[in-house]
Structure 1
């Protein structure tokens, strides 16, 4: 089953006021939609993970008319869950209606980032996936970051490796390249993936960099 890792870039006038806060303030570091319930009703219910100054975030929530109610649960010094209900608007309908179709599933989380960017994973069949992307609003810039075979275990930790980087990393692990003391050389990894030594070395360097960066993103760095 195919999956797409998709990036949506909203123009400023279409951004949700809370997500605009991420651009305008250094107080909020992360705003991640973990789960949501969207029904044939005016209001939707969502669970967000928010990292940063929660007072700034909740003040912003209170200033948005479409936010009906919210509840905050502290996780640690900077991380909080925010459970909220909000009234759906035309931008929500235009963005998510194309994704609400037979043969397509949006897999949480949806990560809201600076510059009006939202990143999400969509799985399903080829035809419905293509139709869903084609029907997204023209003013929302849509970029497919990755295409591959879906594996739910990847969501537990996904450093975004290319296929060749993954192959090199797998070959290195299997051959004992990362054992202490080291049991294999870069040349051995290169032979396993049918590549030159320099190419294998480059794949490993980039893979290691991506893995470590993704790992550090999992927690707050002092």
Structure 2
């Protein structure tokens, strides 16, 4: 079963006001759609995970006319869940209608990032996946970041690496950088990912730190 890791880049005039907040305010660091319920009704309900100053975020929520109601639940000092109901608009329909078809499943979360970027995972049959991507509106720039065989277990352990950190780590494993004895050098990793050795080394250090931290957190939870 194939999966696609897809990046959607919205032009400013089509970017949701709450996602523009990620660009415009340093107070909000992350805005992630965890789950959503979409019916044939005018209003949809979504659960977001938000990192940052929740007061700034909720003030922005109140300023968006299409948001009908919301509820905030604190997780820790900077992390919150936000359950909200909002009126659907034509941009929502144009974006998500092509994805709601037989043979395609959008697997949450959808990660909203700066510069109008949303990243999501699509699972399904090759034909419907191609059709879904082909029917997304032209103003939304679509990039397929990764293609592979889907395995739900990958989501159980997620150190939230950047794409470049993942590429460096994958290259290092593939060429034997972590073998004992070591069969490759940082320079070999750098050549594989087309980067300077110092850049490759930095990617590896940050990736290793994130992986170890995520692993320890997983162990503590279990």
Do they superpose with TM above 0.5?
Answer: yes
Contact 2:105 2:124 in 1 (8 A): yes
Please give the per-residue CA displacement for 1:74-116, whole angstroms capped at 9, x wherever unaligned: 0001100001111110000000000000000001110001110
Contact 2:10 2:117 in 1 (8 A): yes
Bigger-Rg structure (1/2): 1
Contact 2:70 2:84 in 1 (8 A): yes
Structure 1 residues 197 and 77: alpha-carbon distance in aligned structure 2, compared to 1, 3 A threshold: closer
Which residue of structure 2 aligns with residue 185 of structure 1? 181
Shift of 1:199: 3.3
* Aligned residue runs from structure 1 range 10-159, under 5 A: 10-155=10-155, 156-157=157-158, 159=161
Rounded Cα–Cα distance in structure 2 between residues aligned with 1:211 and 1:98: 35
Rounded Cα–Cα distance in structure 2 between residues aligned with 1:54 and 1:200: 40
Structure 1 residues 97 and 208: alpha-carbon distance in aligned structure 2, compared to 1, 3 A threshold: same
SS, match of residue 107 in structure 1:
strand
Rounded Cα–Cα distance in structure 2 between residues aligned with 1:146 and 1:213: 23
Structure 1 residues 217 and 111: alpha-carbon distance in aligned structure 2, compared to 1, 3 A threshold: farther
SS, match of residue 64 in structure 1:
coil
Confirm whether residue 199 of structure 1 aligns to residue 188 of structure 2: yes
Rounded Cα–Cα distance in structure 1 between residues aligned with 2:24 and 2:34: 23
Which residue of structure 2 aligns with residue 212 of structure 1? 208
Structure 1 residues 200 and 66: alpha-carbon distance in aligned structure 2, compared to 1, 3 A threshold: closer
Which residue of structure 1 aligns with residue 170 of structure 2? 166
Unaligned runs of 5+ in 2: 193-199, 218-222
Q: TM-score, normalised by structure 1?
A: 0.81
Which residue of structure 2 aligns with residue 193 of structure 1? none
Which residue of structure 2 aligns with residue 180 of structure 1? none
Structure 1 residues 217 and 56: alpha-carbon distance in aligned structure 2, compared to 1, 3 A threshold: farther
Structural RMSD (CA) = 2.8
Rounded Cα–Cα distance in structure 1 between residues aligned with 2:123 and 2:136: 16
Rounded Cα–Cα distance in structure 2 between residues aligned with 1:109 and 1:79: 16
Rounded Cα–Cα distance in structure 1 between residues aligned with 2:100 and 2:42: 16
Contact 2:38 2:44 in 1 (8 A): yes
Q: TM-score, normalised by structure 2?
A: 0.81
Which residue of structure 1 aligns with residue 195 of structure 2? none
